[in-house]
């Protein structure tokens, strides 16, 4: 593969990644959001895999496979089981309506590209155009965590932030050392499980999983 075709492949995958993160943010149903997250993770794994193969970095290939297995299959599966057991039928509830969310998201993408326009400060080892994408993903995750009412959407936001940071690490330094990467995957899986347990506790105590009911503690 020549450098040019490689660059355009990464470019193409990057666009798909961005589209899927918009999809997570704007879908009105929690099921669709989870599917979009799976797609996002899938493209993330593809980008990682392509970079790993192109640069012959074995440990990065392992993290690409792990990303695919854990974030594109296992975690979405856990989520689907969770919402089945919770019996969520209602749509995504947000403090901000979807058109306005979209507007904010577009704005955040512009901000991400603007803050990274000066390439001399950060010289990533892999494809520099992924850096603003990574930052945008982190921003999207934060937007999701702050504007959504459902506890489950907040977990999704956290996972989105994690995906963004992962992309950041991949493009800047070909990922973290394998030992660290493994630890992060383990942490992530445990975090999703523990938060899952808490969602059921919240449902039982508050009779809904809307976090805007949580106003008991102040001062």
CA distance 11 to 139: 20
The smaller minimum CB distance to another protein, of residues 99 and 217, is found at 217
User: Please, which residues have CB within 8 angstroms of residue 141's CB and are 6 or more apart in sequence?
Assistant: 157, 158, 159, 160, 161, 162, 163, 164
The smaller minimum CB distance to another protein, of residues 30 and 192, is found at 192
The smaller minimum CB distance to another protein, of residues 61 and 161, is found at 161
Residue 201 touches another protein, criterion: CB under 8 A:
yes
Residue 180 touches another protein, criterion: CB under 8 A:
yes
Options 26-34, 75-83, 98-106, 191-199: segment touching another protein (CB under 8 A): 191-199
Taking the alpha carbons of 43, 50, 128, 68 in that order, is the dihedral positive or negative? positive
CA distance 35 to 39: 6
Residue 211 touches another protein, criterion: CB under 8 A:
yes
DSSP state of 79: H
- Give min distance, CB of 206 to another protein, in A: 7
Residue 118 touches another protein, criterion: CB under 8 A:
no
Structure tokens at 56: 């012959």
Residue 176 touches another protein, criterion: CB under 8 A:
yes
The smaller minimum CB distance to another protein, of residues 33 and 171, is found at 171
CA distance 43 to 66: 13
The smaller minimum CB distance to another protein, of residues 23 and 206, is found at 206
Residue 168 touches another protein, criterion: CB under 8 A:
yes
CA distance 151 to 149: 6
CA distance 178 to 194: 24
Contact with another protein (CB under 8 A) among 151, 153, 156, 196:
151
Structure tokens at 37: 């997250």
DSSP string across 21-48: HHHHHH-SSHHHHHHHHHHHHHHHHHHH
Residue 25 touches another protein, criterion: CB under 8 A:
no
The smaller minimum CB distance to another protein, of residues 35 and 176, is found at 176
Structure tokens at 54: 């192109």
Q: Tell me which residues touch another protein (CB under 8 A).
A: 121-125, 138, 142, 145, 151, 154, 158, 161-162, 165, 168-169, 172-173, 176-180, 183-184, 186-187, 190-191, 194-195, 198, 201-202, 205-206, 211, 214, 216-217, 219
């Amino acid at each position: 593969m020549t450098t040019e075709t490689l660059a355009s492949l990464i470019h193409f995958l990057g666009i798909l990644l961005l589209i899927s993160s918009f999809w997570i943010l704007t879908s009105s149903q929690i099921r669709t959001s989870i599917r979009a997250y799976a797609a996002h993770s899938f493209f993330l794994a593809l980008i990682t895999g392509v970079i790993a193969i192109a640069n012959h970095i074995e440990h990065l290939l392992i993290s690409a496979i792990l990303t695919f297995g854990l974030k594109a299959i296992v975690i979405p599966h856990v989520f689907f089981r969770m919402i089945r057991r919770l019996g969520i039928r209602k749509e995504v509830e947000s403090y901000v309506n979807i058109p306005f969310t979209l507007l904010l998201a577009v704005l955040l993408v512009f901000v991400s590209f603007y803050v990274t326009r000066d390439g001399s400060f950060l010289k990533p080892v892999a494809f520099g155009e992924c850096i603003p994408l990574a930052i945008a993903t982190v921003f999207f995750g934060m937007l999701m965590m702050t504007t959504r009412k459902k506890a489950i959407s907040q977990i999704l936001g956290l996972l989105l932030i994690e995906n963004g940071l992962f992309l950041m690490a991949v493009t800047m330094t070909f990922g973290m050392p394998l030992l660290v990467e493994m630890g992060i995957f383990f942490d992530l899986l445990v975090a999703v499980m523990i938060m899952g347990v808490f969602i059921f506790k919240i449902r039982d105590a508050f009779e809904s999983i809307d976090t805007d009911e949580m106003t008991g503690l102040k001062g």
